[in-house]
Amino acid sequence: MSLRREITLFDAVLLIIGNVVGAGIFTTSGFLARELPDPFFFVGIWVLGGLLTICGAFTYAELAALIPLAGGDYQYLKAAYGRWAGFMLGWTSFWVIGPGSSAALAIALVSYLGSFMHLGGPVHEKLFAIGLIAGFSLINIRGVRPGGTTQDVITVGTLLTLGAMILGGFLLGSGNWENFTGQTTNTSWKTVFSSPMIAVIFTYSGWFASTYIGSEIRNPQRNLPLSLILGTLVVIVLYTLMNTLYLFSLPIKELENTVNVAHASLASLFSPAIAGLVSVPIILAIAASMNANILTGARVCYAMADDNAFWPGFRNLHPLYNTPYSAIIAQSVLAALLVLFGTFNELLGYVVFVMILTSMATGLSLFVLRRKHPELHRPYRTWGYPFVPMLFIGTYIVIAVQIAVANPATSLLGIGIAFSGLPFFYYWKNRRNKCPETA
């Protein structure tokens, strides 16, 4: 029994869009308006951040077509550096990144749903968040097709509501194009590539989601690279238009430090009553990210178990639905525990540095694999090689250095969490060597 290839190119593109577009695009711009009080840089940083992200998509595209298997980065790091490198990523993903992201998204979703329904006190909100995790997990256990269809429906809903917001705002809203020329400052490129670029890159994060389900995508040598490139391009256009709309609606000074920029923008363009509807696309975006995270996250520990490098039970597929149900359940239980104890924000904060390092190592693995295995057939070759992947890696190096300088203790703790898995890696390695037939 193996995973079924039931995900189309359309599904994979929407998976990436849904995984990337979350609450960040509705909140990050207030911080950027304060840090970059210049209309050119305020909008331009989204284009620049998008171009750097598409460099990452081009880089991952060759790796995805070369190794179209479940697990994404886990497979690429393993092939380039050895099993230990892939295991460290998978270990961190299993205990922190996957369940922590699901817990954070569930809590955020409940907070926005609270504006439409009465959920009671904090205990009821946590129980409702756990119910959301269980519901999305059940959908994804019942098949990659139901999970993919759910992702399609929610993401299309997000795109339609955001499209209506953008078109309606520009065509019918009371904005002012003079907001784009009213103020300029002496903002330097050094400022752009500090905390503002970190915020933008993180708002773009998740653009490689389709690589985690490589074993379930049809014609992966073609569709995996295309999904990465097309999905990222759609997000770049969407983010640029959204921030152009924000500036069209309000002068940049009035956007400074505004937490819910989308709400303020619609209130200015139309009315406070219309602005209240901005919760709808936010709810849809968070729900899409949550489903995408549950769909993709379990595939990492499944891939590890399938390599005899993790608990064997996680490679079990459902007898009816051919999904890694054991891995999905395990990730959901961990996410539920994080919701109950409220520690996910701290944990995610610890591994941010590790996530950046992983992306850098994955980018470098393109060079390693070209050198180690030049004979392998590459259905897609990275456009602009070696300059495009070098630009992607260089950007992440700059971000990593700034994070390490700003939060050295937190960054070291994140690395410690990743390295804590090495004793278990060697345990499973020895077990596999001693009992290859049962490992």
Asked whether the predicted pLDDT for residue 179 surpasses 50, the reply is yes
- 269: enclosing H helix or E strand: helix 261-269
- The domain limits of the chain are 9-434
The predicted structure's pLDDT at residue 183: 64
Task: Give the mean pLDDT of the chain.
Answer: 93
Q: Which residues face 254 on adjacent strands?
A: none
SS3 (DSSP) at 70: strand
User: Which band of pLDDT confidence, cut at 50, 70 and 90, is reported for residue 193?
Assistant: confident
Report percent pLDDT > 90 for the chain.
84
Residue type at 280?
Answer: V
Asked whether the predicted pLDDT for residue 153 surpasses 80, the reply is yes
> Which comes out higher in pLDDT, residue 236 or 352?
236
Asked whether the predicted pLDDT for residue 437 surpasses 70, the reply is no
Instruction: State mean pLDDT over 293-310.
Output: 94
User: Which band of pLDDT confidence, cut at 50, 70 and 90, is reported for residue 236?
Assistant: very high
> Which comes out higher in pLDDT, residue 254 or 181?
254
Asked whether the predicted pLDDT for residue 265 surpasses 80, the reply is yes
Helix axes 144-172, 261-269, angle to 10 degrees: 40
The predicted structure's pLDDT at residue 184: 64
SS3 (DSSP) at 7: strand
Please calculate the CA angle 264-269-270 and round it to the nearest 5 degrees: 100
**Maximum mean pLDDT: which of 98-107, 123-132, 228-237, 401-410:** 228-237
83-121 per-position pLDDT tens digit: 999 999 999 999 999 999 999 999 999 989 987 887 778
- pTM for the model stands at 0.95
Query: Which residue in the block uniquely carries the two structure tokens 């077509």?
Result: 65
CATH number among 1.10.10.10, 1.10.3720.10, 1.10.490.130, 1.20.1740.10, domain 9-434: 1.20.1740.10
